[in-house]
Amino acid sequence: MKASVFIGTSLDGFIARENGDLDWLPKPSGSEDYGYEEFAATVDAIVMGRNTYEKVLTFGEWPYPKKPLIVLSHAPLTIPAQLTSVETMSGSPAEIVSRLSKRGLKHLYIDGGKTIQGFLETGLINELTITRVPVLIGRGIPLFGPLQQDVLLRHIETRQFSDGLVQSRYVVVR
């Protein structure tokens, strides 16, 4: 099973303000998606925590690919009509990966701060694509958290966009 992160952060490493707001992200422009569609086409399912799920529901538009969505939660979910394939799951990152692997899934898109940190900590993330927005927001929900040991990465490529966003792709070194 391959598991990937594809996420935007402020230059100081936050994926959202403390209240989940993303107002510091650039406004979507028609033509530039920073490689998101290309990435999304390669994943079989999305895995995220309940906090991220509930925040994203407030956006009105569902920004993820139309693929199976696994929400890590013990409690039942409110599932809007336009989401066709949502389920809750609970367990350790290794248990989640094992269960999804048995279904024949090959590539997971891991999203949300705590979920990403949990999968990274247990060595289950293979690839990270981080797009840095040129702003410091000072506080918020961090992409990364404490680790039991260093995680070595191999830099694959970095792309610069005309609006100042810088996107780097890394592979986790085992």
Q: Going residue by residue from 11 to 50, which x/- string records binding to a copy of itself, judged by CB under 8 A?
A: xxx----------x--------------------------
Q: Going residue by residue from 66 to 105, which x/- string records binding to a copy of itself, judged by CB under 8 A?
A: ----------------------------------------
Binders in 141-160 for a copy of itself, by CB under 8 A: 143-155, 157-158, 160
Contact in structure between 127 and 119 (CB atoms under 8 Å): no
Beta-strand relationship, 166-172 and 127-133: antiparallel
Interface with a copy of itself, residue 168, by CB under 8 A: yes
**Distances in whole angstroms, Cα of residue 15 to Cα of each of 69, 86, 99, 103, 133:** 20, 23, 28, 30, 10
3 state SS of 56: helix
Q: Going residue by residue from 102 to 141, which x/- string records binding to a copy of itself, judged by CB under 8 A?
A: ------------------x---------x-x-xxxxxx--
Q: How far is the CB of 6 from a copy of itself (least distance, A)?
A: 15
CA 13/CA 151 separation, integer angstroms:
17
Give me the residue label for tokens 């830099």: 155
Q: How many other C-beta atoms are found inside a 10 Å radius of the C-beta of residue 81? A: 5
Residues that bind a copy of itself (CB under 8 A): 11-13, 24, 120, 130, 132, 134-139, 143-155, 157-158, 160, 164-166, 168, 170
